[in-house]
Amino acid sequence: MKQVLEGSQAVAEAVRLAGVQVVSAYPITPQTHIVEILSDYCATGKMNAKFLRVESEHSCMAALIGAQSAGVRTFTATSGQGLALMHELLHWASGARLPIVMAEVNRALAPGWNIWVDQTDTLAQRDTGWIQFYCEDSQEVIDTTLQAYKLAESVALPVMVVLDAFFLSHTYEPVDVPSQEEVDRFLPPYEARFELDTKNPCSFGPLVPPAVYMEMRHDMAAAMDTALATFPVIEDEFAALFGRRYGAVEAIACDDAEIVFVTSGTITSTARLVLENLRGRGEKLGIAKIKLFRPFPVDEVRKALKGAKKIAVIDRNFSFGASGIFAQEIRAALCNAPDHAPVFGYIAGIGGRDVTPEVLEEIYWKTKHNALPERESVWIGLQEVSHGS
């Protein structure tokens, strides 16, 4: 049934419906509403789950590593500095092959102190072995969170469901919330392959020498490959029950497009509107929306961008000394593809700066009017700044 929900509540409803048994979190804006709702659900019995309050995000992930090792389904949510503080244990969760699911509300890293959207926090965790999904609207948030548990548990890797601060987390819109019966048909109860069990004692996390460590890492790499192959199967099952499908990459009007935007998060939604407007004026724009960032869907990206004459990647993030992070990934995915189009990198919306239709049109025209990129990254909407004397 469709209800008007906040993006944060969409996350919380999915966590409730997934039958999560342990929630642990430390509050940080803009993640707070997710945790407030879940703590209420745990306190009032709407969820049969234990809510663990902790003194930091580092402790939070440690608590979930313990809980998930004991064989239960777990959840946390964080943002920005909170995710940065978890960093060490993100590696631990994936290395221990624990299918923990986290909602991460993108927040700019400090200083300057800023609570608004910026993807650098999650993208900086790209090498931690977590699967990462980026969401466009609240329906995608609830659907992806449910899919995340199924995928995580099938490949024994943790999953991050990423949503934009405020433009998604604090925005109310109609969302179809599935019934418990429907979700139960899609997502069976969690069964751990290994768990802490006093009747069957075994050792977790012992010293792993060079003779076997490399094989463990290779297994993780293979699990990521499996996740890439499994996600479409999970989407098939989801679509059969709920009638919705997203794709690791969604190619929007790419078939005859001359310029293709590469987008993620809520920018995709506004870009769809710009696409309609520009197409109405005879401009051949397409969009490749990247939903799955890790594992990176190289083949689908190449397919979506195959016919493009120019590619414009819009990054709400930045890797200092390099470029926008999606642009890096797109360039890497294309470098061995024959006859690929030039990749224009644009930096927009940093630290919560609004990415309006006007910003996106500016990016379109800049791309159209230049044969090749002027620079590796072009920052859009920068103001003149005087640093005084």
- What is the binding site for other proteins (CB under 8 A)? 2, 4, 115-116, 137, 165-168, 170-174, 266-267, 269-270, 272-273, 352, 354-357
Q: What is the dihedral of CA 32, 33, 39, 43, to 10 degrees?
A: 140
* DSSP string for residues in 198-258: TTS----S----HHHHHHHHHHHHHHHHHHHHHHHHHHHHHHHHHS----SEEEES-TT-S
Distance of closest approach, residue 235 Cβ to other proteins, in angstroms: 21
Distance of closest approach, residue 270 Cβ to other proteins, in angstroms: 5
Q: Which is nearer to other proteins, 91 or 272 (CB)?
A: 272
Distance of closest approach, residue 317 Cβ to other proteins, in angstroms: 17
Residue 15, classed as helix, strand or coil, is helix
Preceding peptide of 112 cis, ω within 30°: yes
Residue 334, classed as helix, strand or coil, is helix
Q: Which is nearer to other proteins, 79 or 270 (CB)?
A: 270
Backbone angles phi, psi at 193, to 5 degrees: -75, -35
Q: Which is nearer to other proteins, 2 or 217 (CB)?
A: 2
What is the rounded distance in angstroms from the CA atom of residue 79 to the CA atom of residue 169? 11
Q: Which is nearer to other proteins, 1 or 211 (CB)?
A: 1
Distance of closest approach, residue 139 Cβ to other proteins, in angstroms: 10
Residues in CB range of 341: below 8 A, 6 or more apart: 260, 305, 308, 309, 310, 311, 334
Distance of closest approach, residue 265 Cβ to other proteins, in angstroms: 9
Q: Which is nearer to other proteins, 234 or 267 (CB)?
A: 267
Backbone angles phi, psi at 285, to 5 degrees: -100, 140
User: Taking the alpha carbons of 95, 164, 82, 60 in that order, is the dihedral positive or negative?
Assistant: negative
> Do residues 79 and 52 make contact, with C-beta atoms less than 8 angstroms apart?
no
Backbone angles phi, psi at 87, to 5 degrees: -45, -50
* DSSP string for residues in 79-118: -HHHHHHHHHHHHHHHHTT---EEEEEE-PPSSSP--S--
Distance of closest approach, residue 45 Cβ to other proteins, in angstroms: 18
Q: Which is nearer to other proteins, 41 or 166 (CB)?
A: 166
> Do residues 313 and 304 make contact, with C-beta atoms less than 8 angstroms apart?
no
What is the rounded distance in angstroms from the CA atom of residue 201 to the CA atom of residue 36? 37
Distance of closest approach, residue 75 Cβ to other proteins, in angstroms: 24
Distance of closest approach, residue 159 Cβ to other proteins, in angstroms: 24
Distance of closest approach, residue 277 Cβ to other proteins, in angstroms: 11
Q: Which is nearer to other proteins, 116 or 238 (CB)?
A: 116
What is the rounded distance in angstroms from the CA atom of residue 161 to the CA atom of residue 296? 15
Distance of closest approach, residue 87 Cβ to other proteins, in angstroms: 26
Q: Which is nearer to other proteins, 25 or 267 (CB)?
A: 267
Strand ranges for the chain from DSSP E: 2-6, 22-25, 50-53, 74-78, 101-106, 131-134, 159-164, 172-176, 249-252, 259-263, 285-290, 292-294, 310-315, 343-347, 378-379
Q: Which is nearer to other proteins, 267 or 334 (CB)?
A: 267
Q: Which is nearer to other proteins, 105 or 131 (CB)?
A: 105
> How many Cα atoms are found within 13 Å in the side-chain-facing hemisphere of 389?
0
Paired residues of 175 in beta bridges? 3
